[in-house]
């Protein structure tokens, strides 16, 4: 690997954790994912097909990965970026690359912890600008200083690992026997069971369980790929929801959209509101820290509103800044609701002057938890894994267009959803939001997506979890009885992979930490491989 390639790979790692180019959670849903970053690493190293294949294979391990409440169990971006780089430079197969990538992901979590700790120092800078009443300088505390810190925290270790680490790993791999690499491939083929098991924790409930087995049987007996399987079960899910009277989702949504268009702006312009929303979507976690979480990001989002409403009133400007730099932590797109509501309240406060700080605090404190619960479940728990599941199969086959198509679809859906909620909350107020949440619309969408998600997970198990038994018995001089071919496959093709995935799910459900399940599979792979059993 050249120095320039190592620099580009290190920059990619920074970008995956930065707000650019798709925004905070936009990046987290796209470039942060190994399926997408693997393609970019492949382009940098001159082999985009292999990069796509390896990235998609590593992504299977993290398909059920959820980061909520400021936690980050592992750094899948580092795992995907360096894991793909190791595979391409060393010439190992995608499954073996997974075995190298997983420990890297666990080490990368240290960057996340360090970032949230050190970003707390920039809260003091934001407080200084608040007391000075200078909203135009908040970007320094929210973007400039934290991103400079993040760049050095991500670029330097990744550059050194890419430039020197991959060469060391290549030399290490070259010295190994073929049997050891075979064991690594066996372990890598088993590890996606952990990622799918994590995903099942969120969606394997009620009638959705049936869809999991239906998806597995469809892939096992009909040979369906993930994309056709997803399209078939999407139709089945929609038919089920309509037959149960869930068409009210569409009716409620259309009625709400029709009402909000008649409201006019008083002091704020549409441009002001859009700028505030874009700031929120892009930079809500740019200065993420343990003290205020997204507080500095929320203040930065509100600066356009504050400057427009209180440009001629320094004391009101300071008061507004003080109330919006406080603690808040919610999901990005559904959090657009709070941006819209608070903007409308600030506008009312400008007109009447009788809305106290307590009202703003109550709105944010009362909604951030429920909105985070809905948003994290809908996007991190269902939509992102579901979309990745649909495209990961074709990506694993080397189709370099699939990560790009996934990125475009994810960006449009996510930002479209957030912008719709922004306008609904600004124009209709908290009552419309509470009514929508109480109506169960989000719950029905999540349940329907759970049906589809379980079917797709079943297909993924059959297609991408690899576990086979090598035990054979000599029956006669001409025939050999294969335990895998003549027993397990005769009962159900992919039976061992199914049992392995359900076993991982059961252990995770019992409270086992992910790394203990990973270590168990590694132990099974090493012992079984050395014994010649699997």
Kindly tell me the burial class for residue 48, based on how many C-beta atoms sit within 10 Å of its own C-beta (0-12, 13-18, 19 or more). buried
State the pLDDT at residue 263.
45
Q: Average pLDDT, stretch 382-399?
A: 92
> Which residue in 398, 412, 321, 326 sits closest to 361, CA to CA?
326
At residue 251, does pLDDT exceed 60? Answer: no
Q: Which band of pLDDT confidence, cut at 50, 70 and 90, is reported for residue 523?
A: very high
**What is the structure's pLDDT at 151?**
98
pLDDT for the residue numbered 436? 65
pLDDT at 245 > cutoff 70 = no
Cis bond upstream, residue 8 (ω within 30)? no
Across the range 316-344, mean pLDDT stands at 94
Per-residue confidence (pLDDT) for residue 335, from 0 to 100: 94
What pLDDT does residue 303 have?
96
User: Does residue 430 or residue 85 have the better pLDDT?
Assistant: 85
What is the 8-class DSSP label of residue 135? G
**pLDDT at residue number 260:** 39
Rounded alpha-carbon distances, angstroms, from residue 384 to 98, 216, 456: 21, 21, 13
Token code pair at residue 527: 């012992």
pLDDT surpasses 70 at 261: no
What is the share, in percent, of the chain residues with pLDDT greater than 70?
92
- What are 36-89's pLDDT values in tens digits? 999 999 999 999 999 999 999 999 989 888 776 666 778 999 999 999 999 999
> CB 520: neighbour CB atoms within 10 A?
16
What tokens appear for 147 in the block? 């991103």
* Sign of the dihedral defined by the CA atoms of residues 21, 22, 24, 27, in that order: negative
- Model confidence at 516, in pLDDT bands (50, 70, 90)? very high
Residue 388 has pLDDT above 90, yes or no: yes
Q: What DSSP assignment string belongs to 73-116?
A: S--HHHHHHHHHHHHHHHT--HHHHHHHHHHHHHHHHHHHHHHH
The residue-averaged pLDDT of 341-365 equals 86
Q: In angstroms, what CA-CA distances link 532 with 287, 353, 465, 521?
A: 51, 77, 19, 16
Query: Quick one: pLDDT at residue 427?
Result: 86
Give the residue-averaged pLDDT of 380-388: 90
Q: Where are the alpha helices (DSSP H) in 265-335?
A: 270-283, 295-310, 314-324
The predicted-structure confidence for 276-293, as pLDDT tens digits, reads as follows: 999 999 999 999 999 999
406 pLDDT more than 90: yes
- Average pLDDT of every residue of the chain: 88
Lowest mean per-residue pLDDT among 130-144, 159-173, 182-196, 248-262: 248-262
Contacts of 425 (CB under 8 A, 6+ apart): 336, 337, 338, 339, 340, 341, 344, 432, 433
Closest CA relative to residue 453, chosen from 394, 383, 379: 383
Q: Largest alpha-carbon pair distance within the chain?
A: 97
Q: What is the pLDDT of residue 434?
A: 62
Predicted TM-score (pTM) of the model is 0.87
pLDDT category, 177, cuts 50, 70, 90? low
Mean pLDDT for 525-532 is: 90
Higher pLDDT among residues 168 and 509, named by residue: 509
What residues does 473 pair with on adjacent strands? Answer: 481
Residues 425, 426, 429, 435, Cα dihedral to 10°: -20
Q: Give the CA count within 13 Å in the CB-facing half-sphere of 503.
A: 15
- 437 or 344, which is more confident: 344
Q: Retrieve residue 519's tokens.
A: 């270590």
Least confident of 209-218, 232-241, 504-513: 232-241
Share of the chain above pLDDT 90, in %: 60
Segment 442-458 shows an average pLDDT of: 84
As given in the structure block, the two tokens for residue 525 are 């792979």
Q: What is the pLDDT of residue 68?
A: 67
118-152 pLDDT per residue, tens: 999 999 999 999 999 999 999 999 999 999 999 99
Cβ proximity of 288 and 70 under 8 Å:
yes
Higher pLDDT, 264 or 23: 23
Written as one string, the DSSP assignment of 30-63 is: TTTSHHHHHHHHHHHTT-HHHHHHHHHHHHHHTT
pLDDT tens for residues 265-280?
Answer: 678 899 999 999 999 9
**DSSP state letters, 443-502:** HHHHHHHHHHHHHHHHHHHHHH-------EEE-SSS-EEEHIIIIIHHH-TTHHHHHHHH
Question: Which region among 78-92, 416-430, 470-484 has the lowest average model confidence (pLDDT)?
Answer: 470-484
Domain coordinates in residue numbering, the chain? 3-192
Of residues 479 and 400, more confidence is placed in: 400
């Amino acid at each position: 690997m050249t120095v320039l390639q190592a620099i580009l790979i290190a920059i990619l790692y920074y970008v995956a954790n930065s707000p650019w180019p798709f925004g905070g959670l936009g990046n987290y849903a796209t470039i942060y994912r190994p399926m997408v970053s693997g393609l970019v690493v492949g382009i940098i190293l001159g082999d985009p097909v292999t990069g796509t294949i390896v990235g998609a294979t590593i992504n299977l391990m993290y398909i059920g990965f959820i980061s909520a409440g400021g936690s980050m169990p592992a750094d899948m971006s580092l795992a995907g970026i360096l894991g793909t780089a190791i595979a391409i430079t060393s010439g190992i197969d995608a499954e073996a690359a997974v075995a190298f990538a997983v420990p890297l992901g666990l080490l990368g979590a240290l960057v996340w912890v360090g970032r949230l700790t050190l970003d707390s120092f920039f809260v003091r800078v934001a407080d200084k600008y608040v007391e000075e009443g200078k909203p135009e300088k908040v970007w320094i505390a929210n973007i400039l200083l934290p991103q400079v810190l993040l760049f050095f925290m991500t670029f330097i270790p990744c550059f050194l690992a890419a430039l020197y680490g991959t060469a060391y790993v290549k030399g290490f791999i070259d010295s190994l026997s073929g049997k050891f690499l075979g064991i690594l491939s066996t372990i890598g083929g088993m590890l996606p069971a952990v990622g799918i098991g994590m995903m099942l924790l969120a969606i394997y409930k009620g009638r959705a369980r049936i869809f999991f087995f239906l998806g597995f049987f469809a892939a096992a007996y009909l040979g369906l790929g993930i994309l056709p399987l997803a399209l078939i079960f999407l139709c089945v899910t929609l038919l089920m929801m309509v037959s149960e009277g869930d068409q009210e989702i569409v009716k409620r949504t259309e009625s709400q959209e029709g009402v909000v268009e008649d409201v006019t702006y008083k002091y704020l312009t549409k441009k002001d509101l859009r700028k505030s929303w874009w700031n929120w979507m892009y930079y809500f976690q740019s200065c993420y820290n343990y003290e205020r979480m997204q507080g500095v990001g929320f203040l930065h989002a509100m600066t356009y509103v504050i400057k427009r409403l209180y440009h001629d009133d320094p004391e009101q400007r300071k008061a507004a800044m003080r109330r919006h730099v406080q603690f808040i932590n919610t999901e990005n797109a559904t959090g657009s609701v709070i941006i819209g509501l608070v903007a409308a309240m600030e506008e009312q406060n400008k007109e009447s002057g009788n809305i106290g700080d307590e009202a703003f605090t109550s709105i944010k404190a009362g909604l951030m938890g429920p909105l985070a619960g809905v948003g994290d479940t809908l996007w991190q728990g269902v939509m992102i894994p579901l979309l990745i599941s649909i495209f990961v199969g074709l990506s694993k086959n080397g189709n370099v267009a699939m990560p790009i198509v996934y990125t475009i679809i994810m960006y449009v859906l996510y930002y479209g959803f957030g912008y719709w909620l922004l306008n609904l909350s600004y124009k209709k107020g908290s009552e419309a939001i509470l009514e929508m949440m109480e109506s169960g619309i989000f719950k029905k969408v999540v349940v329907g997506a759970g049906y589809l998600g379980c079917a797709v997970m079943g297909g993924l198990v059959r297609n991408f979890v690899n576990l086979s038994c090598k035990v054979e018995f000599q029956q006669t001089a001409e025939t050999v009885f294969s335990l895998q071919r003549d027993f397990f496959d005769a009962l159900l093709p992919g039976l061992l992979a199914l049992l392995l995935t359900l076993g991982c799910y059961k252990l995770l459900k019992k409270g086992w930490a992910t790394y203990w399940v990973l270590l168990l599979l590694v132990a099974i792979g090493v012992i079984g491989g050395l014994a010649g059993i699997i």
